[in-house]
Amino acid sequence: MARAARGTEDESARTRARNSAPAQPFISFGFAALLVTCSYWAIDVTSPALPEMKDTFGLSAKGAGLIFSFIFLGRLIGNFPAARLLETLGSPRTAAIGGLLMAAGSTVNAVSPTVEVLYAGRVLQGIGIALLVNAGLRSILFAKPGRGAAMTLFGIASTIGGVLGLQSSGYLTGTYGWRSIFVLSAILGVWLTIIPLISVRVARRSTRPSAPVTPAANASVPVRTYLPPLAINFLIFSNYSIWVLLPLYAQQKFDIGPKMTANLLLIITLTHLAAAVPVSRLIQRFSSPRVLIAGLLLAVVGTVGVLAAQSVWLLAIPLVLYGCGMVGAVNSAGDIVLHRGGAGSNAVSSLRQTSDLGLVVGPIVGGALADSFSYNAPFIAYPILMLGAAAVGMLVPGVLMPRDTMETA
What does the pLDDT look like over 302-339, one tens digit per residue?
999 999 999 888 999 999 999 999 999 998 988 888 87
How does DSSP classify residue 343?
A: B
What confidence score (pLDDT) does residue 15 get?
44
How many angstroms separate the CA atoms of 183 and 261, rounded? 21
Residue 256's nearest CA partner among 178, 191, 174 is 174
Name all domains of the chain by residue range, CATH numbers in brackets.
25-206+216-394 (1.20.1250.20)
Poorest-pLDDT segment among 10-24, 103-117, 234-248, 347-361: 10-24
What confidence score (pLDDT) does residue 241 get?
80
The string of pLDDT tens digits covering residues 20-47 is: 444 457 888 888 899 999 999 998 888 8
Poorest-pLDDT segment among 73-87, 93-107, 202-216: 202-216
The model's confidence at residue 127, banded by pLDDT at 50, 70 and 90, is: very high
What's the mean pLDDT when you consider all of the chain? 82
What confidence score (pLDDT) does residue 202 get?
66
Residue pair 239/326 in contact (Cβ under 8 Å)? The answer is yes
Q: What is the mean pLDDT of residues 107-134?
A: 94
Q: What is the mean pLDDT of residues 375-384?
A: 91
Residue pair 348/133 in contact (Cβ under 8 Å)? The answer is no
* The pLDDT of residue 298 is above 70: yes
- Partner residues linked to 343 by β-bridges: 218
* The pLDDT of residue 209 is above 60: no
* The pLDDT of residue 4 is above 50: no
* The pLDDT of residue 148 is above 70: no
* The pLDDT of residue 11 is above 50: no
What confidence score (pLDDT) does residue 205 get?
54
- By the 10 Å C-beta count (0-12 exposed, 13-18 middle, 19+ buried), 146 is classed as exposed
* The pLDDT of residue 116 is above 90: yes
Share of the chain above pLDDT 90, in %: 32
Higher-confidence residue of 178 and 256: namely 178
How many angstroms separate the CA atoms of 115 and 126, rounded? 16
The string of pLDDT tens digits covering residues 336-366 is: 888 787 766 677 778 888 988 888 888 888 8
